[in-house]
Structure 1
């Protein structure tokens, strides 16, 4: 610990802030076990069973015998006292406090620990226990963010709002959960029917099912069509998997149409955002959550996992998903283990003599390279030690590694070789040259990430291609958000009727900025979409119509849509981003007072929330309150002096006031804090020129252009500034560079 940091040792003893409160209709595992002992026995000890437990001798795995770990300048001590488990560690004020461990969180390969905080919050400690065997590097304490210097102000610090269990974790680690968040008080009263992921987390509340079972057992009662279950996860179509004799590949005898199992699993095994708090499983995912797309920073452009995105977004890219495979085809839903060990799980459908053989995998039998998952489900490590498999079940594409920079399974193992070596090996083994390989949607998404305007025709073709995964098609449209293009309207019109909700929602998002007539024609009808996630985006898009002439029926319809959108945001009312979104909605609806209230709520929840300050200041400026806008930005900088966005916004505010030296200073801070932001450098250069510093401005713009050689705005600014200040040759040189880029 830093010698300058204050030391304040005292014990924080708070009662556990989440509790048992049986949700309506829930009966509990003990009742389920009366009739389903085999399933319950398999579930006992599973990761679902141990997802969360009260801290006890039986459940705590970590070393609490005065064990210590130093991380980020802080020494934490784990110890026992009076039968409880405690830790001395850094609190939200930067001082050392003693905290009692209330709950364990997870089991293997790591276990975290939850600590009660004021306001009903539970916070997961940033130091976890490595539950693996010693020979695998386990049985030790480790920090979850070892390479990120964390102070109490950092959003990843264990005491921060971003780490609060009630919002981030609770929904998927307990059964019958009610978050119980009170916005006015900014506190939780979270309850559950069972502390872990139990039977009714997947099957739904069981009271009616149990009542029917007991009536049948007692005599005259009889089962209803669904046996009293709100969620029927069984296949009722008679379909099963067979090997097609024509091509030797597996196929399902009946095409799968029901997605209830996948949607139930996806509620937790997906990167998604909550839009409606409803504990009933089995609904389409879009009724309660919005799935994250293949966005930069989360996925590689070809859809391989990058950030912690879990499983669902990968699996729905796969051919197996497209042909009807579901989670329980490979995993036992009760013990969560594969249906068979090793390659045998794949051989349940893919003939072992054809695929589990050196003639197919070209590796020694029994070696790690001969494992199906090694090539088709490569793993990536999260939370330092947790290896998770990519479930897109793809064929390795080293050719894409060469052209897109994406990983491939071959070179993840053979790290001493390059993609060209792997391409040549595949060509020898399978006779397919790289140029003969089918085009991949990743090539289009990669182009769209770099220059969406140039890639727009290809992105639109991908979005319209129903042979491609829906998540890839929606991601293509997501890259086109921004300036509306009338040329897209015909394609978007078709996609708004697409059978895939992800595509419909993304098509609506692509209408951002469209005129009132387009919104009435295209977005307004989608307010009746059967999926809430689509209706939510439709409501967001039609908000500007609330400020236009309309009849009474349309006015009522719009108000209901705006109310529904606000409700989706208030499902996560504890998050400042939700109130920012409400503020943007109100601004589009020309309700500045409501927008300001929403922005101020966001800042009340998180005084360091940079977008709240930027948007509030922009609103104040639009209302002619320039002095207030400047004060707002300076208040934000007092909270977040390292925020380049705030310095940039302050610089723009000072430009509007013609305070050029002060503007250049603020914009210079922004450019230094975010050197890769071309826009910051562009505006700084223009301000320097306007402040009478043309040579400095040219140096700024040219340095930025070297980092961003295809940025047209930088090139145009350099040409114009050089020409106006008599540097004709320099202007000609950069005009030539601009010409080489071709038409915009």
Structure 2
């Protein structure tokens, strides 16, 4: 056997040895997940969704697993914003670089829930250059509406992704949702006439598409066409009097125009029609509080926390309202529950 061939065989054997060693240690690392954690996914997800004691700890444990499937990891990210902490942000940031596009998109949504809008740019800006189009679009959507000063160096990349998104929307089969998305892009770029046209196209396809109707009402308002906006809202309410979505839109429209007392009627009706909607009830609570109706506001937040113990935003606001009215015993109960859920919650660290 020639020397060159012998060296080639030795080289191949060495390469095979390295591959086997790498496979062995990778496999060992995957198997090294403790059994309690390896079999605890469903329990952890249930605890997080129900706001049970220890929810943050088991949620973090599951997101720290190297062997978790992409779908399961994405499902956990949907719960992460209710359990903020430095560790939660670290886990979300790490998954922004995950090899799976689905996980990167889920991590973007986690960051949106964990980080105030003005502070997201440095975390999400780099994903505007992501090789996967869906991830670029998710990052752009998360940064939509931020000012050029806040976007800084990412203002140009965001505009490029939005242009790409616009081309894609125009190239796909017509749909009401596609036209609504286009309208959002046009509004971001202050192309209000084109946004109005896009919403009209959405309603041409689906005359009863209420998100398109409400977007059109808001756009008319933005253009200073207050009477047209009011008339359209009134016509839609007459056509859909039992729509919680429109009643909520009425309340928010009246709030925008300084009619807080009347806004309460629309917001209350929305909650009556859809009692399980946390967002409607939260808006009602904050409006009641602004009207100095503190007890009524507290009752709305109590209802949210009772129905949805995982809703941190409502819990923290209720703590503030109870503190304001001197109900310190109730404050201590809520804070104790929050500490059981997530002892590293920033609200606890700040001494609420």
TM-score normalised over the length of structure 2: 0.66
**Residue-by-residue CA offset, 1:91-142 (whole Å, 9 max, x unaligned):** xxxxxxxxxxxxxxxxxxxxxxxxxxxxxxxxxxxxxxxxxxxxxxxxxxxx
Q: Which runs of 5+ in 1 are unaligned?
A: 1-244, 250-396, 406-433, 528-534, 541-560
* Residues 444 and 458, structure 1, Cα contact 8 Å, conserved in 2: no
Pick the aligned partner of 1:462 from 95, 104, 110. Answer: 95
Q: Label 1:499 to 1:571 Cα distance change in 2 as closer, same or farther (>3 A).
A: closer
In the other structure, the counterpart of 1:603 is: 203
**Residue-by-residue CA offset, 1:634-685 (whole Å, 9 max, x unaligned):** 3333344443222111112223445455422211222233333322111212
Structure 2: distance between partners of 1:518 and 1:661:
35
Q: Does 1:521 align with 2:161?
A: no
Residue 96 of structure 2: SS of its match in structure 1?
A: helix
Structure 2: distance between partners of 1:612 and 1:631:
16
Structure 1: distance between partners of 2:334 and 2:284:
19
* Residues 484 and 514, structure 1, Cα contact 8 Å, conserved in 2: yes
Structure 2: distance between partners of 1:400 and 1:724:
39
* Residues 80 and 110, structure 2, Cα contact 8 Å, conserved in 1: no
In the other structure, the counterpart of 1:448 is: 77
In the other structure, the counterpart of 1:634 is: 234
Q: Label 1:456 to 1:724 Cα distance change in 2 as closer, same or farther (>3 A).
A: closer
Q: What is the aligned residue count?
A: 291
Structure 2: distance between partners of 1:580 and 1:492:
24
Structure 2: distance between partners of 1:724 and 1:438:
45
Structure 1: distance between partners of 2:120 and 2:174:
40
* Residues 148 and 155, structure 2, Cα contact 8 Å, conserved in 1: no
**Residue-by-residue CA offset, 1:39-82 (whole Å, 9 max, x unaligned):** xxxxxxxxxxxxxxxxxxxxxxxxxxxxxxxxxxxxxxxxxxxx
Following TM superposition, by how much is the alpha carbon of 1:704 offset from its aligned partner in structure 2, in angstroms? Answer: 1.2
* Residues 124 and 139, structure 2, Cα contact 8 Å, conserved in 1: no
Q: Label 1:469 to 1:636 Cα distance change in 2 as closer, same or farther (>3 A).
A: same
Following TM superposition, by how much is the alpha carbon of 1:586 offset from its aligned partner in structure 2, in angstroms? Answer: 1.8
Following TM superposition, by how much is the alpha carbon of 1:620 offset from its aligned partner in structure 2, in angstroms? Answer: 2.8
Higher helix share: 2
Structure 1: distance between partners of 2:218 and 2:106:
30
Residue 590 of structure 1: SS of its match in structure 2?
A: coil
* Residues 125 and 139, structure 2, Cα contact 8 Å, conserved in 1: yes
Q: Label 1:611 to 1:499 Cα distance change in 2 as closer, same or farther (>3 A).
A: closer
Q: How does 1:45-444 map to 2 (within 5 A)?
A: 399-404=40-45, 438-440=66-68, 441=70, 444=73
Following TM superposition, by how much is the alpha carbon of 1:721 offset from its aligned partner in structure 2, in angstroms? Answer: 3.6
Structure 2: distance between partners of 1:703 and 1:719:
14
* Residues 719 and 735, structure 1, Cα contact 8 Å, conserved in 2: yes
Residue 618 of structure 1: SS of its match in structure 2?
A: helix
Pick the aligned partner of 1:512 from 137, 144, 149. Answer: 144
Structure 2: distance between partners of 1:496 and 1:620:
31
Q: Does 1:743 align with 2:350?
A: no
In the other structure, the counterpart of 2:265 is: 665
**Residue-by-residue CA offset, 1:688-726 (whole Å, 9 max, x unaligned):** 345564433322221112123343442344344444545
Following TM superposition, by how much is the alpha carbon of 1:500 offset from its aligned partner in structure 2, in angstroms? Answer: 4.2
Taking only aligned residues, the RMSD between alpha carbons, in angstroms, comes to 4.0
Higher strand share: 1
Following TM superposition, by how much is the alpha carbon of 1:496 offset from its aligned partner in structure 2, in angstroms? Answer: 4.5
Q: Which runs of 5+ in 2 are unaligned?
A: 1-15, 21-37, 47-61, 348-352
Pick the aligned partner of 1:686 from 286, 289, 303. Answer: 286
Q: Label 1:567 to 1:442 Cα distance change in 2 as closer, same or farther (>3 A).
A: closer
Pick the aligned partner of 2:217 from 592, 617, 627. Answer: 617
Q: Does 1:594 align with 2:226?
A: no
Residue 464 of structure 1: SS of its match in structure 2?
A: coil
Compare CA radii of gyration and give the structure with the larger one.
1
Q: How does 1:484-523 map to 2 (within 5 A)?
A: 484=117, 486=119, 489=122, 492-493=125-126, 495-516=127-148, 519=151, 521-522=153-154
In the other structure, the counterpart of 2:52 is: none
Following TM superposition, by how much is the alpha carbon of 1:627 offset from its aligned partner in structure 2, in angstroms? Answer: 4.0
Structure 2: distance between partners of 1:661 and 1:526:
40
* Residues 654 and 663, structure 1, Cα contact 8 Å, conserved in 2: yes
In the other structure, the counterpart of 2:49 is: none
Following TM superposition, by how much is the alpha carbon of 1:608 offset from its aligned partner in structure 2, in angstroms? Answer: 0.7
* Residues 221 and 229, structure 2, Cα contact 8 Å, conserved in 1: yes
Structure 2: distance between partners of 1:502 and 1:668:
38
Q: Label 1:567 to 1:722 Cα distance change in 2 as closer, same or farther (>3 A).
A: same
Greater relative CO (CA pairs within 8 A, separation 6+): 2
Structure 2: distance between partners of 1:721 and 1:488:
32
In the other structure, the counterpart of 2:311 is: 711
Structure 1: distance between partners of 2:147 and 2:221:
24
Following TM superposition, by how much is the alpha carbon of 1:567 offset from its aligned partner in structure 2, in angstroms? Answer: 4.2
Structure 1: distance between partners of 2:261 and 2:129:
53
TM-score normalised over the length of structure 1: 0.34
Following TM superposition, by how much is the alpha carbon of 1:461 offset from its aligned partner in structure 2, in angstroms? Answer: 0.8
Q: Label 1:691 to 1:589 Cα distance change in 2 as closer, same or farther (>3 A).
A: same
Q: Label 1:622 to 1:485 Cα distance change in 2 as closer, same or farther (>3 A).
A: closer
Following TM superposition, by how much is the alpha carbon of 1:459 offset from its aligned partner in structure 2, in angstroms? Answer: 2.1
Q: Label 1:447 to 1:502 Cα distance change in 2 as closer, same or farther (>3 A).
A: same
